[in-house]
Amino acid sequence: MIGVAVLGSTGSVGCNTLEVLALHPERYRVVALAARSNAERLLEQVRRFQPEWAALESETAAQGLEQRVRAEQLDTRVLAGARAMEQLAADAAVDYVMAAISGAAGLRSTLAAAHAGKRLLLANKESAVMAGELLLAAVRASGAQLVPIDSEHNAIFQCLPSGYVPGTRAPGVRRLLLTASGGPFLHWSAEAMANATPAQACAHPRWNMGRKISVDSATLMNKGLEIIEAGVLFGMPQRDIEVVVHPQSIVHSLVEYVDGSVLAQLAGPDMRVPIACALGWPERRAAGVEFLELTRAGRLDFLPPDPGRFPCLRHAQEAARLGGLSCVSLNAADEVAVQAFLDQRLNFGEIPAVIESVMGRIRGGEMTGLDAVLAADGEARALASEAVARRTTGQSAYA
């Protein structure tokens, strides 16, 4: 039996992971579940999967969960705090770690899994964006396996030659093409987008995702972060990674080779497909999804992104070109700006301006270690919070 820890189990990717695991009880055993604060959903998962461990980052929520677990006489031990996630990621009974904690909060546990030599199912793209060099060094040192979960990176993973080494450019690869759905505002004017509401930004036409990643999809920042992640995972410079808008979300990404061949991975827009791939690789496991019928899918369209309406993509491409701590600052500024938008303290059209104001004031620099990463993250968050506050009070973010 393969022991699995699902970190971020109450989110969209975590829930989908558990659905795939439930299809294969003879092969996988859920050892640990962890989330930030959703104790109610975590309790439901504990009842169903009966893991050895459950953890919540929120101390208060964990106390409430532990009381209910004891009352129901469940054999699951409850942990609390951010460090608990690292403990579970490195637990001896865990073979595979699904790293699905959203945002910078998932960095430490992702690194812990890599250092511990686990098969790391990487859904937390921020770990690669913020600390790609550190992550790859840990994977190499421990012999961990790294399998990307983002549908785009998993598609590339499937299209590369067998035995490729994470962080290195596979022989014969000329270019990577990341597909983007275009999000809910693909056909909106810049003026209409500027005043879009959180509900409109989160109404993705193809994917059912969390609120933060849905907003990133609406700004195309998600695709910008994926450029950075692809550069890290596949050893490619930013100039050799292209974004194409593909509204149908059936082709999940493509790899172009020097002989002119282009390999693509196709599937319906369902995260259970890359999750099942990562769990079973190099074998294939049933994912419980509807199979793709190309005759029903009809046409497949591919368009260039519009940098005028989606400036976040341009900011991310520049950060990818600069590398190092610039990527850390980009991610931090985006997290702050998106949360301010979701809290209705910032207009949708102001998200790129906040990010640009931060990127124009940071020092950048080399990724010398985790302390440098966390310091750059903190500095960018402070600058982004100041920029949001200035715009909230009617002042220029560039002042």
> Are 8 and 145 found together in one domain?
yes
Look at residue 310 and tell me if it is in a domain: no
**CATH number for position 372:** 1.10.1740.10
Look at residue 398 and tell me if it is in a domain: no
Using CA atoms, how far residue 244 sits from 4, 180, 319, 335, in Å, is 35, 6, 19, 24
Query: Domain tally for the chain?
Result: 3
Angle at 304 between CA 103 and CA 196, to 5 degrees: 55
Look at residue 357 and tell me if it is in a domain: yes
Domain boundary (149, 171, 194) is at 149
Report the amino acid identity of residue 148: P
CA dist 171 and 173 (Å) reads: 6
**CATH number for position 14:** 3.40.50.720
What's this model's pTM, rounded to 2 decimal places? 0.92
Look at residue 122 and tell me if it is in a domain: yes
> Are 178 and 288 found together in one domain?
yes
> Are 336 and 217 found together in one domain?
no
> Are 195 and 249 found together in one domain?
yes
Query: Can you name the residues that pair with 119 across neighbouring β-strands?
Result: 96, 145
As to burial, measured by CB atoms within 10 angstroms (0-12 exposed, 13-18 middle, 19+ buried), residue 145 is: middle
Look at residue 132 and tell me if it is in a domain: yes
> Are 51 and 27 found together in one domain?
yes
Look at residue 312 and tell me if it is in a domain: no
* End-to-end Cα, the chain, rounded Å: 58
- pLDDT tens by residue, the chain, 399 residues: 999 999 999 999 999 999 999 999 999 999 999 999 899 999 999 999 999 999 999 999 999 999 999 999 999 999 999 899 999 999 999 999 999 998 888 999 999 999 999 999 999 988 999 999 999 999 999 999 999 999 999 999 999 998 889 999 999 999 999 999 988 998 899 999 999 999 999 988 887 778 898 999 999 999 999 999 999 999 999 999 999 999 999 999 999 999 999 999 999 999 999 999 999 999 999 999 999 998 888 889 999 999 889 999 999 999 999 999 999 999 999 999 999 999 999 999 999 999 999 999 887 788 889 999 999 999 999 999 999 999 876 544 433
The residue written with tokens 């509900």 in the block is 199
- Which range of residues forms the domain containing residue 364? 324-392
Specify the 3-state DSSP secondary structure of 98. strand
> Are 89 and 189 found together in one domain?
no
